[in-house]
Amino acid sequence: MTGIGIIGCGVISGIYLDNIARLSGLELRAVADAKADAAQKVGQARDVPALSVEDLLARDDIDIVVNLTIPAAHAPVGRQILGAGKHLYLEKPLSASLNAAQDLMQLAEDRGLHVGCAPDTFLGGGLQAARAALDAGKIGRAIGGSATMMVAGHERWHPNPDFYYSAPGGGALMDMGPYYLTALVNLLGPVREVASLSSRPRSERRIATGDRAGQTLPVEVDTHLLGLLAFETGALIQIAMSFDVQTHWHSPLEVYGTEGSMRLPDPNRFDGEVTFGDETTMPASDRVYGAGNWRGIGLADMADAIATGRDHRASGALALHVLEVIDALHHAADTKRTIHIKSDCTRPLALETELT
């Protein structure tokens, strides 16, 4: 049994807590948060100790610590976790800063520790069905496609949306891009070159819900970005990420091949179905983890991989590559230049059977 500790007891922690309890091989042993009352609330609800970060990291029975803090804290808290000799699994992105993420991965390598990172939705039935279809040659060789996530802004539903619009770490690409880019790397392998343009249509946002409803907050980052991705395979993908679009009619993901095309489900989900040009479908429900919210299967896969000596799928190397692509897209928009991607990662193994 792999002992799990959680640092960060905010909104996203709920689904992790639920799934740690039902995924085999994992046992929650303690929680912590910079806000002691938040940790106490979760600890009481889940019948586990609520500790300080330092006390949690000192526990001998905790093997992996899940870092669910805000993006700006991912790297500093991650360094604490690795410094304590614990394996690290964290929410996306790997860090708000590419340099900090690279340092984090170097620290893990130096200490012989594993790093895993969300999103793990690419392991769900919907995107694994797409992977199986592509690997089987259903649409021939992939030559292009599109990735689209365009909404009106998270201030409509999040009571404290400041970090979505602050620098560093804000913007639609940094927030939602990891889902789309990780799904695409799972399908097509590494990205080699990017180009983009971006804009900031509004200088402030008004919070619509919660105790701060009606308050405004400044926008410090570009919130509308259009980019091009050139993959090592030769496939060219258009990407659109925005917090400024009221309505659109694009699919979340599409891949075009030499012998057909396919429309993929939302990469922020585990379910859905793949639809082909002839209107035939492959439902997620026919595959493992194809129904419901299985956020945390990447953690379970990592725990099993550590125990058995194999590579895990939602790896730090994959997350670092995706973060470099995000950083390069922002840099390309600023400089109006095409940017070469330096990092590499192994295309994750397909997930065909339930983790046991």
Domain assignment present for residue 8? The answer is yes
Taking the chain, what is the end-to-end CA distance rounded to the nearest angstrom? 12
Q: Are 26 and 95 in a shared domain?
A: yes
In angstroms, the CA 61 to CA 90 distance is 19
Mean pLDDT of 111-116: 98
List, edge to edge, every strand of the sheet that includes 339-340: 281-283, 273-276, 260-264, 253-257, 142-150, 236-242, 224-231, 191-199, 339-340
**CATH code where residue 264 lies:** 3.30.360.10
Instruction: Count Cβ atoms below 10 Å from residue 147 Cβ, excluding itself.
Output: 26
End position of a domain, from candidates 88, 117, 146: 117
For residue 213 the two structure tokens come to: 């409803």
Quickly state the pLDDT bin for 356 (edges 50, 70, 90): low
Task: Render pLDDT for 203-248 as a digit per residue (tens, 0 to 9).
Answer: 999 999 999 999 999 999 999 999 999 999 999 999 999 999 999 9
**Residue 345 has what pLDDT?**
94
Burial of 61 (C-beta count, 10 Å sphere; 0-12/13-18/19+): exposed
Q: Are 179 and 110 in a shared domain?
A: no
Q: Are 161 and 238 in a shared domain?
A: yes
Residue 45 φ then ψ, to 5°: -65, -35
**CATH code where residue 47 lies:** 3.40.50.720
Domain assignment present for residue 52? The answer is yes
Quickly state the pLDDT bin for 285 (edges 50, 70, 90): confident
Q: Are 245 and 155 in a shared domain?
A: yes
| Cβ–Cβ < 8 Å for 142, 257 | yes
In angstroms, the CA 136 to CA 72 distance is 40
Q: Which amino acid is at 330?
A: H
Instruction: Specify the length of the chain in residues.
Output: 356
Number of domains composing the chain? 2
End position of a domain, from candidates 87, 117, 147: 117
pLDDT of 11 higher than 90 = no
Domain assignment present for residue 300? The answer is no
Quickly state the pLDDT bin for 286 (edges 50, 70, 90): confident
Q: Are 85 and 141 in a shared domain?
A: no
For residue 32 the two structure tokens come to: 């912590």
Q: Are 75 and 37 in a shared domain?
A: yes
Q: Are 173 and 216 in a shared domain?
A: yes
Domain assignment present for residue 297? The answer is no
In angstroms, the CA 245 to CA 190 distance is 29
Lowest-confidence pick of 1-5, 127-131, 291-295, 352-356: 352-356
pLDDT of 60 higher than 90 = yes
Q: Are 104 and 155 in a shared domain?
A: no
Domain assignment present for residue 184? The answer is yes
Q: Are 217 and 168 in a shared domain?
A: yes
Q: Is the peptide bond before 49 cis (omega within 30 degrees of 0)?
A: no
Task: Render pLDDT for 12-29 as a digit per residue (tens, 0 to 9).
Answer: 999 999 999 999 899 999
User: Considering the chain, what is the average pLDDT of its residues?
Assistant: 96
Task: Enter the pTM of the model.
Answer: 0.95
Task: Render pLDDT for 117-132 as a digit per residue (tens, 0 to 9).
Answer: 999 999 999 999 999 9
End position of a domain, from candidates 68, 87, 117: 117
Mean pLDDT of 174-190: 97
Domain that holds residue 195: 125-287+315-340
Q: How far is CA 292 from the centre of its chain?
A: 17
Q: How does DSSP classify residue 156?
A: G
Q: Are 56 and 173 in a shared domain?
A: no
Q: Are 104 and 21 in a shared domain?
A: yes
DSSP 83-133: HTT-EEEEPSSS-SSHHHHHHHHHHHHHHT--EEES--GGGSHHHHHHHHH
Domain assignment present for residue 281? The answer is yes
Domain assignment present for residue 294? The answer is no
Domain assignment present for residue 292? The answer is no
Residues 6+ apart with CB under 8 A from 260: 138, 139, 140, 276, 277, 278
- The percentage of residues in the chain with a pLDDT greater than 90, rounded to a whole number, is 94
Q: Are 102 and 167 in a shared domain?
A: no
Task: Render pLDDT for 247-280 as a digit per residue (tens, 0 to 9).
Answer: 999 999 999 999 999 999 999 999 999 999 999 9
Quickly state the pLDDT bin for 320 (edges 50, 70, 90): very high
